[in-house]
Chains A and B, each alone.
Chain A
């Protein structure tokens, strides 16, 4: 008997929570992942997961304030209703994870411990050591394994998603390839959930895992799905520079008291511990007395960049600043931050409990992603409220369905019916800048809350309600032939050994990464971004003649990578186009030639579309009917450059 089924692509927090929720509701799930799902990039999340909690509540915090912080942190770019629903649901998600056995840190009475995180004056971040993402994904991985053992979830690990199959305007399956045998085949489904994460590899080196190329999102984009706010790329202020990757140093290091500083004297050769307090510049604490070192990420990043690149005050004259925890008790640090301190010691060799760490910003998160829609909930005030005063009573209760309507089939659905985007690949929640410890939340929220929407769509809305299993094979066969031909043309180009850098996929990928990092990260200008678009066009021409060094029909990794480079170029073009057309500064997007936020023209989603091989960009209005925009200053005070720095520059 034919049956409805759902495909989930990606086995990180979003994909796993979606799989659990949809399988539990009674639809079989086929789960596709490039890696065994337990190894997905979610493992890298360190700091924690935000939610209103009883202690904070009694101090005056509320779900509403969490919502308000997220909107303000995102610099008023997100549609506001979905964010409200997410903040309202957060405490339930923590309780569920707790039931699943996540070893959250505990207080002496056995309650869940809390820590301070960027963008809030309240402790609202729950954590499991300094490997919270790893612990959350393990809990969900275990639940999925349980369903797998019961036959409700079928895993396709080491399978690469090549594209959605669209029939009569709706998603009816995917085409995918086994990365070991190289078999290409189609899979049918009544709905497809993309949960494929971010696109850090477009920048070459980032804090992301090696599979975060953005290729899966690009394949949907090229098939007609819209891409929202591509230019909104978060650069994390604190990462450990490395040859193969920039390893994250969690914001929790600052949340637990870490202080960012540079020597007041440029290129001061002294050991940091020999530099007296009076000769250190704690620039974040001086400029932002209220938030100090826990200002949001985009602000910390720009200040660090400014101190190093513009003032030349980086430690040892290089692009790095100190992140100092040495004033804290070493045992306390081990207990609260053990995992991340160990990573630093492993890769650098110094023990951060006794030696200040050297860090610099790195590309970390894509706020932008596939554009999705939703059905508004029941809370719709006459006029948008002013910014919430921190610690004051919430204007509304946190009831289910005030932000988004529970179970509405279009929640987190792309413009292609039946094609959903959950987690980081969904553009919806973080606006122009994501607050620390909100990512894990948005992934799991999408999976659990919008998983219900997927179920309802399949049961009630999918045209004819007949399972995709019964459709004629035309669209499926066609997608397999197209991908097989594409593979053949790439593999046929192969000859062993090194190819000319002009057509070497690794060289093209590296040049793309270098160019994007130089043009589309911390500070952007019209001139530089235009130059970047020209470079992307050149790389596209070279990519058309790309040559592989491996013609193997078995586990051909260089082929997979080369194919992804073509998709990375498409994402890069959308990012650069957004960076060019958004002629203002907002959140992570800072244009030195347009340094102010311009709500009249740009409090809008930038929407990239790909038609006939061409990418275009337009701006569409957002729904900001809940909170009125205010200037996002985090109480910054004007400070003078330190005198000694002036002398050095």
Chain B
């Protein structure tokens, strides 16, 4: 028996747990807290409790309210959608089992939206900036189109193992929530203005790690210089404050600090080469 299964075995069936949820009706509106009491069966996760609240939106003191809004998708921790701050720590809510967090009758769990992205409503945030930052580093392989041109490059199992881990990044945003250098940029009113503002902000560990992945690919390295140009500029790898929080919260155990170090070295060599080229 693992420690987790032992702990879960101790949790009481059908206990009442209070969910303290930070709510917000929409952009520009003030946040407020509401408590909900949920009867929790064994093995329940945060999602199944939120589903109960959605079907029966009544607060702990019996007042009818609106259902809590949240973002979700696969419910098996491969899509990244349901990321939120639970008891102060950022993680996916689908893989968050109540038995681990609130094993006893009357225990309290707090749910908050991620704080580094604009809230859409309640626990749902707008992570467009995260995807935009993947464009900044051209996180793709520049193939010659989709026509049949034979196989890709061969790869050793060791190299595949390294790349596979980097490639499991599901763009959830945990590394950004935990990063002291990545701060919320308020909505600028238009897509263009937002993108201009994002281009100045710290790009984040996830995008740096993706740059590492594609710089290492036989065809992907075609864009290496352009990626490094971006990463040596404003909001690039030098903005990293080395807090190392990112790697601790990554649900996929991606070696983010190692990626930052690799890109840091690449940027240094790139800068020196540029200096001598003039």
Contacts and interface: CB of A to CB of B under 8 A. Distances in A.
- Please classify how large the interface on chain B is, using the bins under 10, 10 to 19, 20 to 34, 35 or more: 35 or more
- Please classify how large the interface on chain A is, using the bins under 10, 10 to 19, 20 to 34, 35 or more: 35 or more
Given A20-B146, A100-B141, A243-B41, A349 B2 contact: yes
Interface stretch (A254-262, A423-431, A475-483, A548-556): A548-556
A323 interface: no
Contacts of B152: 95, 98-101
A351 to B, nearest CB: 6
B8 to A, nearest CB: 5
B150 A95 contact: yes
Interface in A229-259: 242-245, 247-248
A131 B168 contact: yes
A496 B53 CA distance: 12
B21 to A, nearest CB: 14
A554 B43 CA distance: 33
Contacts of A211: 73
B190 interface: no
Contact of B146 (A38, A346, A349, A448): A448
Given A95-B148, A96-B148, A134-B170, A245 B5 contact: no
A145 interface: yes
Interface stretch (A103-111, A529-537, A592-600): A103-111
Interface stretch (A135-143, A217-225, A310-318, A636-644): A135-143
Interface stretch (A39-47, A169-177, A183-191, A460-468): A39-47
A555 B69 contact: yes
A17 B145 CA distance: 12
B245 interface: no
A550 B150 CA distance: 54
Contact of A554 (B26, B51, B94): B26
Interface of A: 17, 20-21, 24, 35-36, 38-41, 43-44, 92, 95-96, 98-101, 103-111, 128-129, 131, 134-135, 138-139, 142-143, 145-146, 148-149, 180, 209-211, 242-245, 247-248, 335, 339, 343, 345-351, 448, 495-498, 504, 506-507, 510, 549-550, 552, 554-555, 557-558, 561
A148 B25 contact: no
B55 A209 contact: no
Nearest to B213: A101
A349 B2 CA distance: 7
Contact of B55 (A39, A180, A507): A507
B167 A106 contact: no
A349 B124 CA distance: 28
Interface of B: 1-2, 4-5, 7-8, 25-26, 41, 43-45, 47-48, 51, 54-58, 63-67, 69, 72-81, 94-95, 97, 120-121, 124, 126-127, 131, 134-135, 138-143, 145-146, 148-152, 154-157, 159-161, 163-164, 167-168, 170-171, 214, 217, 219-220
Nearest to A36: B131
B74 A39 contact: yes
Contacts of A110: 154-157
A449 B81 CA distance: 31
A243 B135 CA distance: 38
A209 B154 contact: no
A209 B170 CA distance: 15
Nearest to B217: A101
Contact of B157 (A21, A24, A108, A180): A108
A248 B64 CA distance: 36
A110 B163 CA distance: 14
Given A95-B151, A349-B4, 5 more contacts: A39-B170, A101-B217, A106-B156, A110-B154, A348-B43
Nearest to A501: B55
Contacts of A111: 154
B261 to A, nearest CB: 21
12 contacts: A39-B74, A41-B74, A44-B76, A98-B152, A108-B157, A142-B140, A143-B143, A209-B79, A245-B75, A496-B65, A504-B55, A557-B69
A287 to B, nearest CB: 31
B55 A506 contact: yes
Contacts of B171: 36, 38-39
Contact of B66 (A139, A209, A243, A549): A549
Contact of B64 (A106, A108, A143, A496): A496
A148 B135 contact: yes
A561 B135 CA distance: 32
